[in-house]
Amino acid sequence: MNENRSGLRLAGTQTLELTQRSLQNEFRQWVVILPGLIFPLMMAAVYSSQFGRTLGLPGFPKVDSFLDFILPGSIVQAVSFGATTAGTALALDIEDGFFDRLMVSPVSRVPILLGRLGGAAVIAAGKAVILILIFLACGARIRSGLSGAVIIILTASLLVLAIGGLAQSMAIKTRSQEAVGATFPLIFVTIFMSSAFFPTALMDGWYRALAENNPITWTVDPVRRLVIEGWSTTDALQALGVPLLLSVATISLAIRSLQRMLRSA
């Protein structure tokens, strides 16, 4: 029992150290982080000015401002810019040989993956905080208050973990930054084919079917209700539960991919 606890404590320490390394690398590249903030804000400005009249459409959620409606979608869009970073960084480590040095070091295997994911999750939380503050300054309102804002921030981090785990699995299989980076357009399309920027009730045909069965929709809708309707424990649990289940699945996939690679080495 004591050995298990010591192993878990060591793995936790190594994960934190690798998370710090990941954050240091991220902060050295502000030019990579900034588009994830600037682009969603520009899109929010365009959407709020051009689609404000849609608030009066039958079936559109009752909101005071279009900014309230698109706040969750804008945050999802912002964190998606860095969601694959954990995968591309891992692929870079594999390409430049740093990964091989980690393999022969005393570092446990799982923290190698979790450290990169932890850094991406912290960056995502920071982006969510910045966007929330800017939206509030521009007149948006989160009716569930501080509790709702915390759920939004946690949801953003969990969503990045889910996408990052998948990116890491691809990095291990392809060992290529380009291959991992090529998945970003697919993530972007998935966001637009959800309820992130328009309610599914006003969609039609195959597009509506895709949006209603999109995990992004399952995440965005409860977050949006926390913003425009107020606190709901059910919505909070759904907002956290969907990306949490996805992250467990994708991170487990990445760990299995790593184990298979090590066995075949």
Q: Per residue in 103-156, pLDDT tens?
A: 776 667 788 888 888 888 988 999 999 999 999 999 899 999 999 999 999 999
Instruction: With CA atoms as reference, report the closest residue to 193 among 174, 208, 180.
Output: 208
Could you report the per-residue pLDDT of 175-213, keeping only the tens digit for each?
888 888 887 788 888 998 999 988 888 888 999 999 999
Residue with tokens 């899109």: 43
Could you report the per-residue pLDDT of 84-108, keeping only the tens digit for each?
777 887 888 787 777 777 777 666 7
Neighbouring C-alpha atoms within 13 Å toward the C-beta of 175: 9
CB atoms within 10 A of CB 260: 12
Residue 7, pLDDT score: 59
Residue 15, pLDDT score: 79
Instruction: With CA atoms as reference, report the closest residue to 69 among 204, 202, 249.
Output: 202
Residue 5, pLDDT score: 63
Domain positions in the chain are 2-28+43-52+62-264
Say whether pLDDT at 57 is over 70.
yes
Residue 133, pLDDT score: 95
Greater model confidence, 141 or 55: 141
First-to-last C-alpha distance (Å) of the chain:
31
Residue with tokens 């450290």: 115
Mean per-residue pLDDT for 24-32?
A: 70
Confidence of residue 83 (pLDDT cuts 50, 70, 90): confident
* Cα gap 177→89, rounded to integer Å: 8
State the Cα angle at 146 between 125 and 215, rounded to 5°. 50
Percent of the chain with pLDDT strictly greater than 90: 37
